Amino acid sequence: MREYWHSVVLEKDYCNGCTHCLDRCPTQAIRIIDGKARIIQDRCIDCGECLRVCPYHAKGALVSSIDTLNNYKYTVALPSISFYGQFSEEYDTNKVYNALLKLGFDEVYDTAHAAEILAVYEKAMVEKEHYNKPLISTYCPVITRLIQIKYPALIDHIIKLEAPMEIAARHVRKRLIQEGYTSDEIGIIYISPCPAKITSIKNPIGIDKSSIDEAVSTEEIYYKVMKIIDKVTDIKPIQCSTGKGIGWARVGGQSYAMEIDDYIAVDGIDEVIKVLESMEIGKLNSLDFFEGYACVNGCVGGPLNVENTFIGKNRVRKLTKKYGMDEPVTIDIELIPENMEWDTPIKPMPIFKLDTDFKRALEKMAKIEEYTQILPGINCGACGAPNCRVLAEDIVSGNAKLEDCVLLKNQPKG
């Protein structure tokens, strides 16, 4: 298996070993060892919860900086759809996009336009008779990873479609190559609201290689744009999405754009987990579609965004009205599988399995039960594991000792 690259990283100098992130991590991927948090790479799904909750800002996301523009002959900016929600109303989105040109990008492509085209293709797929309803959106890569590691029985429900950014990047790259650029000369740069999107560029699911070259953070670009936006005078028409594409920035927007009825749109990783648990036991089979987001309110809540998620959501709502939900969508990307779909299978990554051998797994399980009985069960986190049960698992897998339990160690002997 190839090394799994992650965007979420720990900046050790800032970490003081507190337990905020331990408890928040939905896949129990964090341990505190020698006073510093560590991320177990196999378990991390890049949701960014730890990044959000860390009071010392010791968690970060690996991103490129805008200097990377110098590495390419021709650069294209793909602003995330939630970029729409970052700027106050006085700054027209088209002006913001023109500011990106002034920052040094040679071209800006409105990712929301790719989303509204995708919605047309996706609607046709959802409306087909399908045995594995509800179909699950792949738009939030955290959810797809979560299903791979924890809910493999739901893999067949995943609708194997690209994210808008990837569709846009494929389309633009194809055009530039026709215009005579070599692939190395083209730099397609995503402006990302979250670490998970960055990981999905470096480590894509469903395809071998992303058409996007690098990602920069919305945060970095936002402040650079704000410095120069009042000086932007040369205005080219770039913004081209209707409200249907823009709406993808917030939870539910994807289903609105498809104009389907039987769907649920769920935001916040804990709520998504609850829904996946019931979907796994067949409780939601009457639904056609499920869109789930790790972040509250969807992509506008991304940890690399600047604006408060609720303010961002409100702006997006207004912008969908401004650009119109009933405007005709210009289909200028051909609606064929090679433009829209994933071509490699999604594999389960069952990281919670104790052992690949059933008998050995059972033996380990029995030992974990034993240790769980011995441990105090107050889940204090002082040992460095998120709770007593996980410490028991770590002991059995040889990664911790019973003496790591602070309470047991301080118990009076006899």
Partner 1 sequence: MNTYMKNESNVAMKLHYDISKDDFSRAGEASSKIKNMLRQLAIEANILRRIAIATYEAEINLVIHSLGGTIDVYIKPDCIEIYVEDVGPGIENIELAMTKGFSTATAVAREMGFGAGMGLPNMEKVSDEFIIESTIGVGTQIKMVVTY
Q: How far is the CB of 147 from partner 1 (least distance, A)?
A: 10
Nearer to partner 1, 259 or 277 (CB): 277
Nearer to partner 1, 282 or 414 (CB): 282
Nearer to partner 1, 331 or 361 (CB): 361
Q: Can you say how many angstroms the Cα of residue 54 is from the centroid of all Cα atoms in its chain? A: 18
Q: List C-alpha distances in Å: 404 to 81, 256, 269, 379, 384.
A: 46, 51, 30, 13, 8
Q: How far is the CB of 372 from partner 1 (least distance, A)?
A: 11
* Alpha helices for 232-357 (secondary structure H): 243-246, 253-258, 269-280, 309-323, 337-340
* CB distance 149 to 27 below 8 Å: yes
Binding residues (CB under 8 A) for partner 1: these are 150, 152-153, 155, 277, 280-282, 348, 350, 352-359, 361-362, 365-366, 393
The rounded distance, in Å, linking the Cα atoms of 366 and 249 is 46
Q: How far is the CB of 153 from partner 1 (least distance, A)?
A: 4
Q: Can you say how many angstroms the Cα of residue 90 is from the centroid of all Cα atoms in its chain? A: 29
Q: How far is the CB of 348 from partner 1 (least distance, A)?
A: 7
**Contacts (Cβ under 8 Å, ≥6 apart) of 171:** 109, 114, 333, 339
The rounded distance, in Å, linking the Cα atoms of 211 and 346 is 18
Nearer to partner 1, 310 or 358 (CB): 358
Supply φ then ψ for residue 155, to 5 degrees: -60, -35
Q: How far is the CB of 38 from partner 1 (least distance, A)?
A: 21
Q: How far is the CB of 277 from partner 1 (least distance, A)?
A: 7
